């Protein structure tokens, strides 16, 4: 006879947090949202922590290198999507790792024999006004000069004018040698009233730029997620098909953590990937796995060597796995069940395996609920797809700005490897939809507002960190009537956008 769970499959919307005692010291500015990303032994620190409990989903419409840099600046981490060629995914990782705090790899470069027309075209594509002139037109070439907006006037110059005729030559440039500290580079910028300072090596090859505008940016981002070399941290997704070729190249590119991208993780295929990583790299390469929705799935992946486990099947806004296959579980029930299994595993083995809640977040307060129910961090797709930094087009649809958003299980993603169980290499049916999400502006502004709500709610619960939230918070189920009571009711709202969902 089949096993039946005794409780209904519940969502975040069915719960509320009950306030706890708040002392005078319990203020939002004192709340820490730092959280472990990978497994660790009790009494020790995790080898990898993130400064905010947010990671971006392994999706074409969410996580590329631009998203990775933007999220790392805020203290979170992106997992660059796997449904692309190994070469392009590796290149994205390399671009992220090419950034250092304050040191920027040049992505706008020209040769001296190119023309003003080439300059204008590159400026339109990249949006940068400072371009490096190198002998081969690459970021690693021998630097011969610089071009800024002050070096040409479109109205008075022929578009075929060679770059060499109006660039500032190398001998006239102020530059710094490789190895200079960020503080020293900023001193040079201010002393010489520069907007950009090239950093070169002993062979006159361009390695980085330091920009004046980035000085304030870095001061304004105290939570930046950096490695020991002051480079942004970045993750990458892998699949269960070409992992033997993909993983070594991602590791060589400097990826900080991997995650198996799959709609269902309780499988021999995922165990094979984890075993491959442990046999080839021991514990030097960190890799998460999933997704699962119960104790059995968690224990399977934890014992197979996963560094974290993702929780959630069918709860994403673009995921239709439940209606297509009848597989899944309410996200709140799944998180609570797996969190209990994680705690039991800790008691038994002395190892803490973080869990990631993936899906089911509709409102900002759902983030706090997921953390209180036991999630160590959250993987978000729709949330990040709305922002400027997402790699999709911003469109005007019926007078409203939107961003495109599609699932990895949709035909548009053509990610058949994520779901293939053998047979012909095509997507036989869809488990995700192609859609739009309301455009919401910049990542920074939205993430900071969302986390301000999380911090404030944690103070209402009387806690100052996520571990305390998980241990001390009280939660209550809500009735359908109390859900209505919780919103605006029995009034006429003055503004039509008062109930707009974030």
Quick one: which of 307, 308, 262 has its CA closest to 281?
Answer: 307
Instruction: Say which residues have a Cβ less than 8 Å from residue 126's Cβ, sequence separation at least 6.
Output: 107, 108
Secondary structure string (H, E, C) spanning 343-385: HHHHHHHCEECCEEEECCCCCHHHHHHHHHCCCCEEEECHHHH
Rounded Cα distance, 373 and 473, in Å: 9
Residues 319, 356, 459, 461: which is the catalytic one? Answer: 319
Taking the C-alpha atoms of residue 342 and residue 349, their distance in angstroms, rounded to an integer, is 10
Is 319 one of the catalytic residues? yes
The string of DSSP letters for 158-200 reads: -TT-BGGGTSEEGGG---EETT--HHHHHHHHHHTT-SEEEEE
C-alpha to C-alpha distance for 110 and 326, rounded to whole angstroms? 55
Tell me, yes or no, if 418 is annotated catalytic. yes
Q: Name the pairing type of β-strands 131-134 and 143-147.
A: antiparallel
Report the alpha-carbon distance of residue 5 to residue 261 in Å, rounded: 27
**Residue 186 structure tokens:** 């900023």
Give the H or E element holding residue 296: helix 295-304
CB distance 466 to 33 below 8 Å? yes
> 137 — alpha (psi -120 to 50), left (phi > 0) or beta?
left
What residues have CB less than 8 Å from 1, skipping those under 6 apart? none
Neighbouring-strand partners of residue 144: none
Q: Which candidate in 231, 246, 342, 418 is catalytic?
A: 418
The DSSP string of 68-95 is: HHHHHHHT-EEEE-SSS-HHHHHHHHHH
Known catalytic residues are 319, 418
């Amino acid at each position: 006879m089949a096993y039946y769970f005794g409780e209904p499959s519940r969502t975040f919307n069915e719960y509320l947090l009950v306030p706890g005692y708040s002392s005078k010291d319990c203020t939002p500015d004192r709340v820490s949202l730092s959280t472990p990303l990978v497994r660790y032994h009790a009494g020790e620190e995790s080898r990898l922590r993130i400064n905010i409990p947010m990671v971006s989903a392994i999706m074409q419409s969410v996580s590329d290198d631009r998203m990775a840099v933007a999220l790392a600046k805020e203290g979170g981490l992106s997992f660059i999507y796997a449904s692309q060629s190994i070469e392009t995914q590796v290149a994205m990782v390399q671009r992220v790792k090419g950034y250092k705090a304050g040191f920027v790899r040049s992505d706008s470069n020209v040769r001296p024999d190119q023309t003003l027309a080439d300059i204008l075209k590159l400026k339109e594509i990249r949006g940068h006004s400072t371009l490096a002139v190198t002998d081969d037109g690459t970021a690693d070439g021998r630097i011969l000069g610089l071009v800024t907006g002050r070096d040409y006037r479109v109205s008075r110059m022929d578009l075929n004018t060679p770059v060499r005729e109006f660039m500032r030559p190398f001998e006239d440039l102020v530059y710094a040698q490789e190895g200079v500290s960020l503080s020293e580079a900023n001193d040079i910028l201010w002393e010489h009233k520069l907007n950009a300072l090239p950093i070169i090596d002993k062979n006159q090859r361009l390695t980085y730029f330091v920009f004046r505008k980035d000085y304030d940016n870095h001061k304004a981002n105290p939570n930046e997620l950096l490695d020991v070399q002051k480079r942004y941290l970045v993750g990458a997704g892998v699949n269960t098909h070409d992992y033997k070729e993909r993983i070594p190249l991602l590791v060589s590119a400097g990826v900080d953590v991997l995650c198996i991208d799959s709609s269902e993780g309780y499988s021999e295929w995922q165990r094979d990937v984890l075993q491959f990583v442990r046999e080839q790299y021991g514990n030097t390469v960190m890799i998460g796995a999933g997704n699962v929705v119960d104790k059995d799935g968690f224990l399977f992946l934890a014992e197979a060597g996963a560094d974290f486990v993702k929780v959630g099947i069918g709860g994403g806004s673009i995921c239709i796995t439940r209606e297509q296959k009848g597989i899944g579980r309410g996200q709140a029930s799944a998180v609570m069940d797996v969190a209990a299994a994680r705690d039991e595993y800790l008691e038994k083995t002395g190892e803490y395996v973080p869990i990631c809640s993936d899906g089911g977040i509709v409102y900002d307060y759902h983030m706090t609920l997921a953390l209180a129910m036991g999630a160590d961090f959250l993987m978000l797709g729709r949330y990040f797809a709305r922002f400027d930094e997402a790699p999709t087009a911003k469109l005007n649809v019926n007078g409203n700005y939107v961003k495109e958003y599609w699932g990895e299980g949709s035909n548009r993603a053509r990610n058949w490897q994520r779901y293939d169980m053998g047979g012909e290499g095509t997507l036989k049916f869809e488990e995700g939809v192609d859609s739009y999400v309301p455009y919401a502006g910049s990542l920074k502004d939205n993430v900071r507002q969302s986390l301000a709500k999380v911090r404030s709610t944690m103070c209402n619960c009387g806690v100052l960190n996520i571990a305390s939230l998980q241990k001390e918070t009280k939660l209550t189920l809500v009735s359908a009537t109390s859900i209505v009571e919780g919103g605006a009711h029995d009034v006429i709202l003055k503004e039509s956008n008062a109930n707009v969902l974030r």
